[in-house]
Structure 1
Amino acid sequence: MSGGDNMDATERPVIAATRTTKRRGPRLSRADRTPLGLWFWEIDRVLLLLVSILVAVGLVAVAAASPVAAQKLSTSTASLDPLYYFYRQLMWVIVGVPVMLMVSMLPKPQARRFAIYGTIVFLFLLFLVPLVGASVNGAQRWLGSGVLRLQPSEFLKPFFAVSLAWVLSLRLHDQSLPVVPLAAALTGVIALLLMGQPDLGQTVIFAATWFVLVLVAGLSMRIMGMLAGTGVAGLILAYFFYPVAQQRINIWLFDKGDSFQVDKAHATLTAGGLIGTGPGAGLAKFQLPEAHTDYIFSVIGEEFGMIACIAIAALYLAIIVRVLVRLLDEEDSFLILAVAGLIAQFGGQAVINMGVNTQIFPSKGMTLPFISYGGSSFIALSIGMGLLLSLTRRNPYAARVSMTRNWNKK
């Protein structure tokens, strides 16, 4: 008689029921072919984790900077809650994170179409800004008002990167297509519209995205040299004929003009030393303009110390490196260009903001991705990161099959 026959008759149904329950328990297995199951196994979960940490850091930073902005908007008859901007940022996070996840679930062809349609819509809205746009602090960059106010250039950035990548990828299929002049013309039109707002920071980001994409597209060194020369000539012309650029460059290089903002940002950044004054204990931040947006990195430096600032810079670097490593085995030219453009935008914006706070770059009015306060900025960044997560999705089973086939061929 076998060991199984020694089992009590009353025990068999219990064991069978237990095994059945285990089989029927809901879980995401690699055999799950539902959209959610495919997304879970194909998404870069390390990248998603790094971005989630960045969002959490942003909420803490906005909570630290919120009292400054709330105090400046308070009047003698009415005062704002010190955490007013934190609660609003929390609302944008609750909206933006699901948007990022939904965009990341798009298959690659649908993500590309979504970006092309988005480029058309927000380019049209960008044309409307000088006609019906709202002015804030002397800059006309927004449409609408209140909660419904949006900044078209913020939303256009990720769509532009993917659409431009698609245009440039066509060159690899047909060398006769004038895709490079077309891409340059589109970038030039956007730059002119942005300079009219004025918005020098966004102009730099769009131009840098275009340059990175044509560089990755594999243009000849002669053409790249001509483009570099054109860029230098553009900066010289901007200095002499664009007052906003002249003012920023004079303050940065020649110490001429009002440097109050960058001086206060640097003083606040270094006020906390290595470990900071502690959450809520900073005093220098109350002299900062736009402490919750452009200069939030300085607030982090005062209250959490230079160690925290270095950790945040390392977190941005980790995201960039993770994405670039993800591209190492990619062969699709469109995907390489699109991902390169998106991560160049993301990393470039972070570097510019941190550089301004440390006086490496002139002031540009650039937010720190996922950390600075802002509805348009956070939602647009969520869309961009969603596109990045969508375009870097990999099917691990398909990758193993491909490796096996290649090994068998050898």
Structure 2
Amino acid sequence: MLARDQRTPFSEWWWTVDKLLLAAIIALMLAGIILSLAASPPVATRIGLDPFHFFSRHVMFLLPSFMVLIAVSFMSPKAIRRSALLVFVVSIVLIVATLAFGPEVKGSRRWITMLGVNIQASESAKPAFVVMAAWLFAESTKRPEMPATSMAIVLLLMVVSLLVMEPDFGQTMLLLMVWGALFFIGGMRMIWVAGLAGAAGAGLFGAYLLVPHVAGRIKRFMNPASGDTFQVDTAMEAFWNGGWFGLGPGEGIAKRSLPDSHTDFVFAVAAEEFGIILCLALVALFAFVVIRTLLRAYRSEDMFSRFAASGLAILFGVQAAINMAVNLQLIPAKGMTLPFISYGGSSIVSLAYGVGMMLALTRLRPRTEVESMNDATTARSYA
């Protein structure tokens, strides 16, 4: 056992990190391994690959992702700001490169291949964007004379414009919701929040009028008879088939025909094979991670840590909620991975980076350390 009086980086991390939060995240990762083994073999077999192709790649991505998570959780808030800026700049460059050179798949350019690896730069941009926006909102509360809110709006418009050009309206709506939540947490007036919501609604209506595949998904959701709803219908059947306790590991039927059973609809596979009980346990784990992080963030004396941890928790929770809602046919179909459960290299690594920052920002820190950080910021503002 590590003694509290030991002054090594690992001992300091161990006694300050939120162990319950870390345990919940590890539990989600382990659940992802089990569900990947359950959901991915039929998909791989259908397209002529080794049955365990996606499972082995899921584990292969998960191992370095866990290392990234732990390494980032050692960082100080200052180091997190710097790393987020670097990741954000690199991600924006890669998104621009994707728009210019990436292959077009189903009318979208979202992936670029580098050194034999497919990269979706918008995934890494998400947590970095949230941290950058949180820093600007934190600065606006401490230094009203700084145009931090205007800079945050410019940052949002830049990212949203690039995502719409791909186009990726799901990620766009996700970032708008998180940015709006940070805007509200920052104490902005309700009229501004209402204006943001109105602008987002107008943007969605514009997409409905101008983008055929967005209009098609909304129409199919409102009127299933208007188009192909095979995937969502099969997912709902999986929930009915599984009942409370499931058909048993490997006994699922839906995964044999669902094209995206290992990604967008892995939650439905979990319901059919392991039952609604497991699905409720997953929901409880996601809710615990979000609520625990928000509570720890609320207790933080440092405004940047409070905003950044809150934003990352909301990003994590909303993404999970969107995926599960699509599986349950509560919202129009949208390709959004279930954090640490769905297959996806870029998604898992980016999630690990974001959750690592959550763990770092919610670590227990002496009051003197927080005060010295705030004093240093104040001193720079008057220098």
Same fold (TM over 0.5): yes
Match of 1:294 among 247, 252, 264: 264
Partner of 2:331: 361
Match of 1:36 among 10, 34, 48: 10
Partner of 2:65: 96
Q: Which of 375-384 and 233-242 deviates more?
A: 233-242
Show CA shifts across 1:212-248 (max 9, x none). 1111111012222222222222222222122232122
Show CA shifts across 1:246-294 (max 9, x none). 1221111233322222112212232211111111111222111211001
Partner of 1:276: 246
Gaps of 5+ in 2: 370-383
Q: Give the secondary structure class of the aligned counterpart of 2:298.
A: coil
Partner of 1:347: 317
1:119-134 correspondence runs (5 A): 119-134=88-103
Specify the structure having the higher radius of gyration (Cα). 1
Contact 2:35 2:341 in 1 (8 A): yes
Deviation at 1:28, TM superposition (A): 1.8
In structure 2, what is the Cα distance between the partners aligned to 1:249 and 1:184?
A: 28
> What is the letter of the counterpart of residue 168 of structure 2?
D
Corresponding position: 1:171 with 2:140:
yes
Partner of 2:45: 71
> What is the letter of the counterpart of residue 17 of structure 2?
I
Corresponding position: 1:226 with 2:195:
yes
Contact 1:200 1:244 in 2 (8 A): no
Corresponding position: 1:395 with 2:365:
yes
Partner of 2:165: 196
Change beyond 3 A, Cα 1:298–1:317: same
In structure 1, what is the Cα distance between the partners aligned to 2:53 and 2:160?
A: 34
Contact 1:100 1:382 in 2 (8 A): yes
> What is the letter of the counterpart of residue 353 of structure 1?
N
Show CA shifts across 1:340-380 (max 9, x none). 11011100000000000000011110000000011111101
Match of 2:298 among 328, 334, 346: 328
Partner of 1:56: 30
In structure 2, what is the Cα distance between the partners aligned to 1:151 and 1:219?
A: 33
In structure 2, what is the Cα distance between the partners aligned to 1:57 and 1:296?
A: 11
Corresponding position: 1:45 with 2:48:
no
In structure 2, what is the Cα distance between the partners aligned to 1:185 and 1:88?
A: 38
> What is the letter of the counterpart of residue 327 of structure 1?
A
Q: Give the secondary structure class of the aligned counterpart of 1:149.
A: strand
Q: CA RMSD in A?
A: 1.7
In structure 2, what is the Cα distance between the partners aligned to 1:223 and 1:320?
A: 25
In structure 2, what is the Cα distance between the partners aligned to 1:297 and 1:334?
A: 34
Deviation at 1:103, TM superposition (A): 0.6
> What is the letter of the counterpart of residue 322 of structure 1?
R
> What is the letter of the counterpart of residue 44 of structure 1?
D
The TM-score with structure 2 as length reference comes to 0.92
> What is the letter of the counterpart of residue 32 of structure 1?
Q
Contact 2:124 2:346 in 1 (8 A): yes
Deviation at 1:145, TM superposition (A): 5.5
Corresponding position: 1:378 with 2:352:
no
Q: Give the secondary structure class of the aligned counterpart of 2:113.
A: coil
Gaps of 5+ in 1: 1-26, 75-79, 400-410
> What is the letter of the counterpart of residue 268 of structure 2?
S
Q: Give the secondary structure class of the aligned counterpart of 1:365.
A: coil
Change beyond 3 A, Cα 1:379–1:147: farther
Identical pairs, percent: 39
Corresponding position: 1:116 with 2:85:
yes
Q: Which of 343-352 and 251-260 deviates more?
A: 251-260
Partner of 1:244: 213
Q: Give the secondary structure class of the aligned counterpart of 1:327.
A: helix
Match of 2:127 among 158, 165, 170: 158
> What is the letter of the counterpart of residue 305 of structure 1?
G
In structure 1, what is the Cα distance between the partners aligned to 2:169 and 2:367?
A: 46
Contact 1:205 1:349 in 2 (8 A): yes
Match of 1:139 among 104, 108, 118: 108
Contact 2:176 2:200 in 1 (8 A): no
Q: Which of 133-142 and 249-258 deviates more?
A: 133-142
Contact 2:41 2:55 in 1 (8 A): no
Contact 1:184 1:210 in 2 (8 A): no
Q: Number of residues paired by the alignment? A: 368
> What is the letter of the counterpart of residue 133 of structure 1?
G
Partner of 1:24: none
Deviation at 1:398, TM superposition (A): 6.9
In structure 2, what is the Cα distance between the partners aligned to 1:242 and 1:55?
A: 36
Partner of 1:404: none
Contact 1:281 1:303 in 2 (8 A): yes
Deviation at 1:396, TM superposition (A): 6.7
Q: Give the secondary structure class of the aligned counterpart of 2:252.
A: coil
Deviation at 1:124, TM superposition (A): 1.4
Deviation at 1:146, TM superposition (A): 7.6
The TM-score with structure 1 as length reference comes to 0.86
In structure 1, what is the Cα distance between the partners aligned to 2:228 and 2:304?
A: 45
Contact 1:134 1:145 in 2 (8 A): no
